Amino acid sequence: MKITIDINQLYWISIGAGLVLFVEALGWLYWRYLGAGSIRDYVSEDEEPDGDYRIIRKINSPFQKIALVESEGQVLFYGNGDLMFGTIEDEEIYAEALIHVPMALAGKRKRILIIGGGGGITTREVLRYPDVKEITTVDADEMMMDFGKNYDALVKFNEGALNDPKVKTVIEDGRAFVESTPEKWDAIFIDIPEPSEKCPSLRRLFSLEFFKILKERLEPDGVINVSCPSLANIPEYLWSVQATLIAAGFHVLPYHFDVIVEYEEDYGFCMATNRQVMADEISIPIPTRFLSPERLQDMVHIPYNYAKWSSNNKIQTDNNMVLAEIVDEAFNDD
């Protein structure tokens, strides 16, 4: 039997098939970018890599939506859409700035506490000191700690730091861990995301009450360093952390590392001690890639465009949302 289809039939069949494909494509785009399958829960539009990238894995931990992203041969780790860290050069810069300035001022360097060190990169930097005897690295998210210990690309980058015999890893909220132990440390590092509307409970790791507990857990000649990484976007955040540390009884020396030209970032830090320290006391005793003497002089000078916010003396407590409000106002102005 011969079947004939005229031109008009072919035309309308083609139109129909095209409409079906178009509707399916719209449905897929909605599901991926706006609906239940949205990648924006894992990689925000503001922080996605430049150029082509590939999402290797999407995982929901009890604490956050985690994405592992491959971009230009590197692996990036995202939490709730925000870039946390990666096997990238600016992570090397940040880790050196966070760790080595306080380590240069610590009276001893035998026992170190890192809160938020699941990636193992800051632990790697502390292990460069031969006089370090024990590092306690705490992270609330077991999945992040597992990546730091077992994910090949990250283990290579952190040089196996979290599997080193000097390192004790703890899966627990940082504050709960500190409150439950009478131990003392020579240096304490707080390297966790800023409190925000997404994670308001993080304020308890930046609060006056917690800093007072840390003061009791710090050796008399010890040092605490609190990361305030988004200095270029929220300079008032650093000054609020400083005000809170001062209210807890510390002397504070803020500093920063400017990588605006290279990475559009300026990393801020609040270094707290029991005695007043001067910038000219900082002399890093081990080789570093990025912390030259000239760079150190620049780091302790806070530019005016940040310093003009230093009158912000709002103190974070367990019962207010000072830091989260600063963050949300800066990043959610839409």
- In 3D, which of 57, 47, 18 has the Cα closest to residue 26? 18
| Cα-based torsion angle of the residue sequence 252, 236, 269, 138 in order, rounded to the nearest 10 degrees | 100
pLDDT in tens, 21-55: 444 444 334 434 444 456 878 998 888 888 899 99
Residue type for 185, please? W
DSSP 8-state class, residue 43 = B
SS3 category, 255: strand
Predicted local confidence at residue 73, as pLDDT: 92
For residues 224 and 211, give the distance between their C-alpha atoms in angstroms, rounded to a whole number.
Answer: 10
Identify the CA nearest to 43 among candidates 30, 56, 26, 25: 56
Nearest Cα residue to 109 out of 183, 186, 221: 186
User: Which pLDDT score is estimated for 83?
Assistant: 87
End-to-end distance of the chain based on CA atoms, in angstroms? 65
Please report the pLDDT score of residue 109 as a whole number.
98
DSSP at 161: G
Measure the CA dihedral 213/217/222/224, to 10°. -40
**Amino acid sitting at position 258:** D
Radius of gyration over alpha carbons of the chain, in Å? Answer: 24
* 280 torsion bin: left (phi>0), alpha (psi -120 to 50), beta (else): alpha
Residue 54 and residue 57: Cα distance in Å, rounded?
A: 9
Q: Which of 17-26, 180-189, 229-238, 322-331 has the highest mean pLDDT?
A: 180-189
Q: Give the residue from 297, 299, 259, 234 showing the smallest Cα distance to 88.
A: 259
- Tens-place pLDDT, residues 158-168: 999 999 999 99
**Ranges of each domain in the chain:** 1-37, 41-85, 89-331
**Residue 318 known to be catalytic:** no
Active-site pick, 191, 221, 266, 298: 191
The predicted model scores a pTM of 0.87
CATH, range 89-331: 3.40.50.150
* Residue 334: per-residue pLDDT: 47
